[in-house]
Structure 1
Amino acid sequence: MRSTFMGLETAKRALFTQQSALHTTGHNIANANTPGFTRQRVNFGTTTPFAPAAMNRPQIPGQMGTGVEANSIQRVRDSFLDIQYRQETNKLGFWDAKSSAISEMENIINEPTTNGLGAVMGEFWQSLQDLSVYPENDGARNVVLERGQSVVDTFHYLNDSLNQINDNIGNEISVSLDSVNSLLEQIASVNSQIGDVEPHGNIPNDLYDRRDNLVDELAGYIDIKVTTTKSEGDPADEAEGLYNISLVGGNGKEEILIAKDNYYQLGFSNGSGNLSTTTPDEVGQISIFSSAGKEIPSKKMDIANENGELLFSQGKLRGLIESYGYSYQDTNGDPQLKGTYPEMLDNLDRLAYTFSQTFNAVHEKGINLEGEKNIKFFGDLEDDYKDASKLISMGDISSKQIAASTTENANDEVNAGDGKNAVNLSNIQNWLMNGDEVKLEGFDGTVTFDPNDPGSDTDYSLIGNASMNSFYEGVIGKLGVQGLQANRLAGNSEILQQSVNEKRMSVSSVSLDEEMTNMIQFQHAYNAAARNITMVDEMLDKIINGMGLVGR
């Protein structure tokens, strides 16, 4: 037999359920401008009908509904769009880091302009051609010295500036590692809080939002894979569980960074097995450490393989490391250094070394106003070309000692009017350093410059089968292509990320128009439930107070 007060109970449930929906709507409206907030909804469900299937069920025509209840309050979110968004954020982090680093380099190199190294060297070559016309003119000779000093100063400026920016990138790697480790710790902490709530059947939607926002931020630094584990106890069906996060390497290898409320850290070994985020001079490995900062030897990750191909995870960290430079051992076991900035510095060193050593070799063959030979124009460099752009300097030479002449007369007096060696010196810019002998003009007999002279300590093959001009143009051309590619792909990644984010926002963000519509809907349902209670109350009043009065 059904209860006399069944109608009141049904209406009361409707009141409470619609009230929960109104509260949830108010929560959505209040957080309409909260970054990372996901709108929530109340999942309505019918209560158990009367009467239940049983042997002693009452003889009524059929089951009667008993009303509505709020089964759960759930976030409106599409996990597939989350995965897409993190993938695009990861790509954007990488290309943004690359684009920024190359842009800084382009600002320093400053080519093609009238202030770049190419223009300064062009002025130097021009001063030598002017000297060849007026070899006795002291003014022309001083111009050659000053413009030679300008070339030296420009090499120094480029070397110092590029090294300074590269040091800044190294500091940014350190800061990024600190950020990654902080995010890992925070995600593990939120995981722990979720693990305390879910076993009791509750759904911590706001904690889910906080965790997803942290994971989105982490995805910009490294490529991650997110899986879920069900909480212990008796979680609701809608509960999202605990996140497990793995670091995905460039070779597809995965390393666990978060397992429930346990987390690991990324950094460099300081030699004693403790965590350090200070970037070394050459990045060869990144290690995984426990939450206490102790290195786990089995989880060391090489940055690159023996061919120099990067193995580290995609993202901002990889873009910074690729710009800063990374070390690896080639197939012969020899250490190698690769990266955007190290390669540019190496090319400048090769150019500075080849330029100064070749110029000195030709200059030493000429004769100056004092009748001397074997005078160096630039200072001596080490046999190794490394740091040549930093160490290049002017020799201890005066204007009269510039060897612009090639011939002597019978009385061993210098033919000061001969400027043919100045022509030879100015032609150096177009010589191909391919090992072929170069005929020097103006000397009696055959005088050649042999880049492969076995008696020379200088390696003239550092710039390959190219002239100094074409080598530098090739370096600048490559930089321009790299910059264009980085800017284009950074722009494409940003557009794709924005597109995915707009789709995600269309699903998850709060629409005030929609919430107002829902509020009106729930309000009318609440009012109808209240009116239903009034109606049932009147019925019961009639039954209780109005029946049994006949005959009085």
Structure 2
Amino acid sequence: MRSTFHGLETARRGMFTQQTALQTTGNNIANANTPGYSRQRVNFSQTEPYPAASMNRPQIPGQLGTGVEAGSIQRVREGFLDTQFRGENNKFGFWNAKSEALAKMEDIMNEPSDNGLAKTMDRFWQSLQDLSVNPEDSGARSVVRQRGLAVAETFNYLSNSLSSIQEDLKAQADLTAKEINSLLTQISNINTQIKEIEPHGYLPNDLYDERDMLVDQLSTMVNIKVTKTGSGGQSSPLAEGIYNIELLNANGESYPGSPAPAAPVMLLDSAAATPVNPVSIQYNANNLADTVTVDGTAIDIQDFSGGKLKGLLESYGYDDNGTSKGTYPDMLKSLDEMALNFATEFNRVHQAGTGLDGNTGYSFFDVTGTKGAAKDIKLHSDTKNLDHIAAAKSNFDGDGSNALSLADVKNASLTFTSGTATLKSFYEGAIGKMAVDAQQAVRLTNNSSVLSGAVQQRRTSVSGVSLDEEMTNMIQYQHAYNASARNITVIDEMLDKIINGLGVGGR
């Protein structure tokens, strides 16, 4: 026979369970604006019905329910959306780093403008044409020298400024590597805490949220793959376990390619004695990024993972089998080639001309070597004397023919690494490439930002806290709690009647 107090226990369980749900709802409301918080829910489960199947079970119409209990408190999370978000976040980190680096380069080059190299050189060519009209005029000669000095100083400024930003990019890359290692250490520490809690049957939802937020940050910097392993013990089937983090290449494949090798490159391996494998950048003798070492594996920059770190290293410059590549090295190399060819050809024509003193062989610019030509170009010591400016081809008074030849250097076909071109077309090509690269970086940054934002919105719709929904749940749980309490009152009245109202005969 079932207990007279059966209904009291059923109602009591209902009250306690609804109270747990109300407290969880209150926690959701309190954390509605907490970054990285995932809403939590109570998983209700029925308690074991009465009576259990046995030989001495009472003969009643059927099994009676014994109430409800809070089986677990689980956070609401969609793993697929997390993976998708981190993939888009990784693309955003790469293109955003490239976009910012190119934006700084565009500010330095400042083309087209009245202060850029192109306009400065145009003024120099114009001053030579003016000199051809008045070759003996000291004022015209002084203007040529000053305009030539402006050209040299503009080359110097552009080269020095680009080199300065390049060093900043290197510092950012090194800082990003340290930040990656810091995030890995934090994730490893949270793994340890989770491993201590889960075997007892609990779900450390707050630790899960904190860990996922750190993994989201990590995905911006490198391309990663997260796998889970169980904590062991009496872990709940809903437990998320320990995170292991594998490094992927820019194509989302395991190193050295797909399918994955027997021993993947691990950033975080919870089964190892030392879980964290730090990321380190190696530079060659030319101070270019050479390889990135992770888990004892040296990875070439061009094969390295995507994300912010690769974007910074590609912008700073890296060594590709002895050849320097990258956004800033390419532009510095173009400036050096342009400065060297310009100075060499101009000096050749100038040395063939005659100064006011009747002598030839004077140099106008001083430049040595291809590497660093733009940084080192300057006026030759011969140019300190205005009479040494070779505007003439003969000793005849009024001869300014060589000044015209010097001005024609602008249209001379010169040999560059990329082929034959004039100074103007070569420079326009370098600036055009920069503009196209910057436009592409901005476009893809915006695209990846929109895509990651869309995934984040879907993720928020699943995991985020809706105050309207929580208020609805709160009212629902409140009514259920009140109904359970009312049920206790009714049963109490029944018991009172049985105890105090029955069996009074014969008193």
Q: Indicate the TM-score class for this superposition, using the shorter chain for normalisation.
A: over 0.9
1:199-245 Cα offsets, whole Å, 9 max, x none, are 11000000000000000000000010011111110111111111111
Conserved? CA contact 1:351–1:463, under 8 Å: no
CA distance, structure 2, for counterparts of residue 46 and residue 126 of structure 1: 92
- 2:406: which partner in 1? 425
- Relative to structure 1, the CA distance from residue 135 to residue 104 in structure 2 (aligned partners, 3 Å threshold; closer, same or farther) is same
Matches within 5 A, 1:95-244: 95-244=95-244
**Structure 1 position 319, deviation (Å):** 0.4
- 2:304: which partner in 1? 312
342, 352, 356: which one aligns with 2:339: 352
Higher RCO structure (Cα 8 Å, ≥6 apart): 2
**Structure 1 position 545, deviation (Å):** 2.5
1:517 is the counterpart of 2:472: yes
CA distance, structure 2, for counterparts of residue 14 and residue 199 of structure 1: 28
What fraction of aligned residue pairs are identical, expressed as a percent?
A: 53
1:385-433 Cα offsets, whole Å, 9 max, x none, are 11000111101122111111123xxxxxx11311111111111111122
CA distance, structure 2, for counterparts of residue 506 and residue 461 of structure 1: 56
1:268-321 Cα offsets, whole Å, 9 max, x none, are 3699xxxxxxx98211011126xxxxxx3xx22221xxxxxx111000000000
Higher helix share: 2
CA distance, structure 1, for counterparts of residue 286 and residue 10 of structure 2: 70
391, 399, 416: which one aligns with 1:404: 391
1:465 is the counterpart of 2:420: yes
Conserved? CA contact 1:224–1:247, under 8 Å: yes
Q: Which moved more, 1:248-257 or 1:223-232?
A: 248-257
CA distance, structure 1, for counterparts of residue 401 and residue 482 of structure 2: 105
1:417-450 Cα offsets, whole Å, 9 max, x none, are 11111111111111122xxxxxxxxxxxxxxxxx
296, 315, 324: which one aligns with 1:323: 315
1:357-409 Cα offsets, whole Å, 9 max, x none, are 01001111111111111111112x33x311000111101122111111123xx
CA distance, structure 1, for counterparts of residue 286 and residue 403 of structure 2: 46
CA distance, structure 1, for counterparts of residue 365 and residue 288 of structure 2: 31
- 2:259: which partner in 1? none
368, 371, 374: which one aligns with 1:389: 374
TM-score (norm. length: structure 1): 0.87
1:544 is the counterpart of 2:495: no
CA distance, structure 1, for counterparts of residue 32 and residue 175 of structure 2: 32
Unmatched tracts of structure 2, length 5 or more: 256-263
Conserved? CA contact 1:369–1:416, under 8 Å: no
**Structure 1 position 539, deviation (Å):** 1.2
CA distance, structure 2, for counterparts of residue 53 and residue 326 of structure 1: 74
- Relative to structure 1, the CA distance from residue 108 to residue 41 in structure 2 (aligned partners, 3 Å threshold; closer, same or farther) is same
- Relative to structure 1, the CA distance from residue 461 to residue 480 in structure 2 (aligned partners, 3 Å threshold; closer, same or farther) is closer
CA distance, structure 1, for counterparts of residue 499 and residue 417 of structure 2: 108
CA distance, structure 1, for counterparts of residue 496 and residue 428 of structure 2: 99
CA distance, structure 2, for counterparts of residue 496 and residue 64 of structure 1: 52
Conserved? CA contact 1:98–1:319, under 8 Å: yes
CA distance, structure 2, for counterparts of residue 462 and residue 141 of structure 1: 34
**Structure 1 position 546, deviation (Å):** 2.3
CA distance, structure 1, for counterparts of residue 130 and residue 53 of structure 2: 110
